[in-house]
Amino acid sequence: MAFLDTHPNTNSTCNIALDHLTHWMPIAVPIKSWYISPPPMNHPLFGFLPLLLPLVMKFYDSLGKFQCPPSHVIYKNRAKRKFSQLDNDHFKYVQCFYEGMHNDARTCLSIALTAIQHGALCLNYVEMIDVLYSDETSSSGKAIGAKCFDKLTNTEFNIYAKSVVFAGGPFTDELRLKENPNAKPAVSGAAGTHIILPGYYINDIGLLDINTSDGRFLFFLPWLGSTLVGTTDRKGKPVSTPRPPEEEIQWMLREVEKYLSNDLLVRRSDVLSAWQGFRPLASDPHAAADAPISRDHVVSTNPESGITFITGGKWTTYREMAEDVIDTVIENNRDIFTQPLNMCNTLNIPLIGGGEHYTRNTHIKLIQKFGVSEETAKHLSNTYGTKAFNVCYLSKPTGRRWPRFGKTIVEGYPYIESEIEYQCKYENARSVADFLCLRTRLAYLNIEAAKQAVGRVGDLMAACLDWDDEELVLQKEIAYDKLNEFAGPVPIENYQNNIIGATNKYDLKQIFKILDSDNNGYIDIKEMYQAASMLGIDVSHSSDGDEDGQVTPSTKQQNELKEMFEIMDVNNTGRITEQEFIAGWLNTKDDIILKNQLKMKFNVTVSGIEKGPGVLFG
């Protein structure tokens, strides 16, 4: 999941001045020694980076044609004051440089909406399942279209086209295999893991740690009000589930702890959300053996079917990638396409909501006109640009003195309910999971907050899209399943002894559902006692012991239950989430009577484990 856009002002992407979606992010690189060990990217020469960094960064500025604010050095004493959250005793200096930043999902949607404005036809929830060929019987000849499956209506249909392009990112090879089961791979995946910590770990300047224990870079960035921590890539087969490996999360937390000031304790439960994304690394399977390997994107055409594919690349170059692929398609099909009248002009087309009517003060106008909170106004103007006014027109009064309009979907985040109506009516939002993951980034920012929002978002979407009860229940279930694919404050499995199998996880989820008698997504202590007493455990005695000071069996059972509850309630909120329950099952002793009873009743075989060094919750 990309969020950082290197120099968005360059020729290849957009114009930041007219653009509500991107902004400059200053990033500081604290330098604590003149030689880095282990060296970055495991190359000994890179160990000397601290000596050359100011020069390297000037060169980097030049790549963006000096349109970004200039890189600069912050000297020791000022840096100590500025970065109080860092372990800053041994600063030599801090190098500061600039990157462009955006909310990638919103940029992607804005591109699609802009394309639609200019005449494109876009379909969401449609999967290409096969290629259509000129010679139908032998599935050979030129590709003339694609067989598709509409996941909203469960129907298949065909799209016919003059030219077919595969642009499946890291999944492009899966598309190519539909065309040719023996296709040589063109793309490999590189996984990048991100964790979200609360916003208070960082101020408005990002940080880059180039001196981690294994030579990878670690960055900390303020992103949508939270702190985003991420690593550089690790090779791996692309999968579409966002769940990152627990050991990556643990590695990041260890590195964060080393990096931050000694008086800051970073806990596993501070991880509000965690996910991974796969970046496509491309090579051209149709190129000659001695052709140089592309470091960027690859556009290539299969001469037999005429299908062109594009893969690799970056957000930084997305517009240029699109231009290259369209140029290739026109070039390859001179017999079908007439020579275009104009050169590609997408560089000068602002994305929807951008353009000359958008200014960096749009959020102030929103506050003055609608009485929405400053947080919400900034979020709306950075997301919808000038269309933020349309979102506000749909907003309902809060019934409070301030903010007057813009009822938030979940506390602590700026998303408002009228966005649901706006997105359903004007931006083709069609599922609760999509709204919580990509339309807003709530799932990426705070997975528990996202789960809490499922009910309300579902109800409002149902009203907009005329869902019946059955559809609404299904939507909510799908949303919970999707959200459970993210990692959150509680590890779902013990990363060193991955002993919860899928069946047991399923069983534990069922038990959780039964214990959660009011079905609000949490178990509280009352529900725990209720379950115990239903299973015949005596929890009625409330004194600390009998008159001889002996602990009575029922008090012992009560204490056990209390202890089990406290272990599971990692965040000390008095409520246990499903993830906490599953992880807590592993971390509580096996001889607790409630646990034993539940195991017998539901035939669960997974055991608790001894807590020791390296085991979670620390």
Ligand X SMILES: Cc1cc2nc3c(=O)[nH]c(=O)nc-3n(C[C@H](O)[C@H](O)[C@H](O)COP(=O)(O)OP(=O)(O)OC[C@H]3O[C@@H](n4cnc5c(N)ncnc54)[C@H](O)[C@@H]3O)c2cc1C
Q: Which residues bind ligand X (CB under 6 A)?
A: 1-2, 4-6, 127-128, 167-171, 175, 192, 277-280, 313-316
308-312 and 297-301: which strand pairing? antiparallel
> Minimum Å distance from CB 202 to ligand X?
17
C-alpha 574/C-alpha 564 separation (Å) is 12
Which residue, 249 or 508, has its beta carbon nearer to ligand X? 249
206-209 and 22-31: which strand pairing? parallel
> Minimum Å distance from CB 512 to ligand X?
31
> Minimum Å distance from CB 320 to ligand X?
11
> Minimum Å distance from CB 5 to ligand X?
5
Which residue, 19 or 524, has its beta carbon nearer to ligand X? 19
**Amino acid type, 526:** K
Which residue, 169 or 455, has its beta carbon nearer to ligand X? 169
> Minimum Å distance from CB 205 to ligand X?
17
Which residue, 427 or 516, has its beta carbon nearer to ligand X? 427
Contact 114, 99 (CB under 8 A): no
> Minimum Å distance from CB 3 to ligand X?
7
> Minimum Å distance from CB 86 to ligand X?
23
Contact 418, 461 (CB under 8 A): no
> Minimum Å distance from CB 2 to ligand X?
3
Which residue, 296 or 544, has its beta carbon nearer to ligand X? 296
**Amino acid type, 78:** R
Contact 226, 198 (CB under 8 A): yes
C-alpha 587/C-alpha 559 separation (Å) is 17
> Minimum Å distance from CB 15 to ligand X?
17
Count Cβ atoms within 10 A of the Cβ of residue 359 and give its class: 0-12 exposed, 13-18 middle, 19 or more buried.
middle
Residues 73-108 as b or e (16 or more Cβ within 10 Å = b): ebeeeebeebbebbbbeebebbbbbbbbbbbbbbbe
Which residue, 31 or 191, has its beta carbon nearer to ligand X? 191
User: Which residues partner with 131 through β-bridges?
Assistant: 146
- Cα 21 versus chain centre, distance: 17
Which residue, 48 or 125, has its beta carbon nearer to ligand X? 125
> Minimum Å distance from CB 99 to ligand X?
8
Contacts 24+ apart (CB under 8 A), 111-117: 111/318, 111/351, 113/351, 113/352, 113/427, 114/349, 114/350, 114/351, 114/352, 117/352
Which residue, 277 or 584, has its beta carbon nearer to ligand X? 277
Which residue, 5 or 19, has its beta carbon nearer to ligand X? 5
**Amino acid type, 441:** R
Question: What are the CA-CA distances from residue 64 to residues 11, 55, 57, 490 (Å)?
Answer: 9, 15, 11, 41
**Amino acid type, 80:** K
Give the orientation angle of helix 502-515 with respect to helix 578-587, to 10 degrees: 120
Q: Which residue is nearest to ligand X (CB)?
A: 169
Contact 93, 34 (CB under 8 A): no
**Which residue blocks in 8-150 are alpha helix, DSSP H?**
49-63, 76-82, 104-117
Which residue, 217 or 617, has its beta carbon nearer to ligand X? 217
